[in-house]
């Protein structure tokens, strides 16, 4: 039975992200890009709110989702290519981050793509394990696959939006900053982030879960030796 504190926790995070989103909704650099960037956020938050009663997530998952959305709201306010992180670092330290690391472009979008994988891999794993009831090896492979496939899907959405709207709005949403391999690098970074997050999760389970190795081996055991395809088709026809 979840405690009242654990029930309040996601509501507190929801209130915080709504307050942040509202504050950053004022005077964004590009209002149309801000609206496009937040369309999926509205859908995602709506889904989390609608399912919270029947399918609450863990505090870990709600926290990582909150952190990702916080960064996304910052990106949508400034547009990802214009987030002034370099100016902030220079104000705090006297030297810009780009100068220190030799960056020639704004890398805030790269960071967020990496954190998409790193921060959302665990909530996806929780969803997959609890709904699909996968165990062992598959409890780590499937979340990685979801991160990789949704990263690819998002790049296709960006491409479609750029084609439909075109002009400055399309370029602002696409955010390639002149890099022809931008989409490929974004997908790679999300995949690396997810791989690291799931690797950390696996290491923790291996350290504290006495059934980890047995469950991993059991998940790779062949359960149906008979082939499918035409054999399965013939079996189904025989039942008619």
Which tens digit of pLDDT belongs to each residue from 148-191? 999 999 889 888 887 887 777 766 666 667 777 888 999 999 99
Separation CA 19–CA 23 (nearest Å): 6
Query: Is position 236 within any domain?
Result: no
Separation CA 72–CA 109 (nearest Å): 9
Query: Is position 9 within any domain?
Result: no
Separation CA 50–CA 42 (nearest Å): 12
Q: Is the pLDDT of residue 95 over 80?
A: yes
Rg (alpha carbons) of the chain, rounded to whole number: 21
Separation CA 190–CA 205 (nearest Å): 23
179 backbone φψ class: left, alpha, beta (φ>0; ψ -120 to 50)? beta
What's residue 174's pLDDT? 64
Query: Is position 22 within any domain?
Result: no
Separation CA 100–CA 140 (nearest Å): 36
pLDDT classification of 3: cutoffs 50, 70, 90: low
Collapsed DSSP state (helix, strand, coil) of residue 110: helix
Query: Is position 185 within any domain?
Result: yes
Q: For residue 116, give the nearest of 147, 140, 143, 144 by alpha carbon.
A: 147
Domain region containing 106: 28-221
What the block records as the tokens of 31 is 């209002």
| pLDDT tens-digit map of 32-91 | 889 989 999 999 999 999 999 999 999 999 999 999 999 999 999 999 989 999 899 989
Query: Is position 95 within any domain?
Result: yes
Query: Is position 12 within any domain?
Result: no
Separation CA 233–CA 54 (nearest Å): 37
DSSP letter assigned to residue 129: I
| pLDDT tens-digit map of 110-150 | 999 999 999 999 999 999 999 999 999 999 999 999 999 99
Query: Is position 179 within any domain?
Result: yes
Query: Is position 122 within any domain?
Result: yes
Total domain count, the chain: 1
């Amino acid at each position: 039975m979840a405690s009242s504190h654990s029930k309040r926790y996601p509501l507190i995070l929801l209130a915080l992200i709504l307050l942040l989103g509202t504050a950053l909704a004022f005077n964004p650099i590009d209002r149309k890009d801000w609206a496009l960037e937040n369309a999926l956020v509205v859908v995602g938050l709506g889904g989390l709110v609608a399912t919270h009663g029947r399918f609450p997530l863990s505090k870990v998952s709600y926290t990582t989702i909150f952190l990702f959305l916080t960064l996304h709201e910052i990106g949508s306010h400034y547009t990802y290519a214009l987030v002034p992180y370099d100016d902030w670092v220079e104000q705090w330290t006297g030297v810009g981050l780009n100068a220190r690391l030799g960056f020639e472009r704004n890398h805030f979008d790269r960071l967020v793509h990496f954190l998409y994988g790193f921060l959302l891999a665990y909530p996806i794993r929780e969803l997959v394990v609890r709904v699909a009831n996968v165990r062992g090896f598959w409890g780590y492979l499937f979340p990685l696959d979801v991160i990789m496939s949704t990263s690819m899907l998002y790049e296709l959405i960006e491409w479609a939006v750029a084609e439909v709207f075109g002009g400055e709005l399309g370029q602002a949403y696409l955010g390639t900053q002149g890099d022809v391999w931008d989409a490929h690098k974004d997908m790679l970074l999300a995949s690396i982030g997810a791989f690291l997050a799931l690797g950390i999760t696996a290491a923790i389970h291996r350290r504290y879960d006495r059934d980890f190795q047995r469950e991993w081996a059991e998940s790779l055991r062949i359960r149906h030796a008979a082939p499918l395809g035409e054999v399965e088709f013939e079996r189904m026809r025989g039942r008619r």
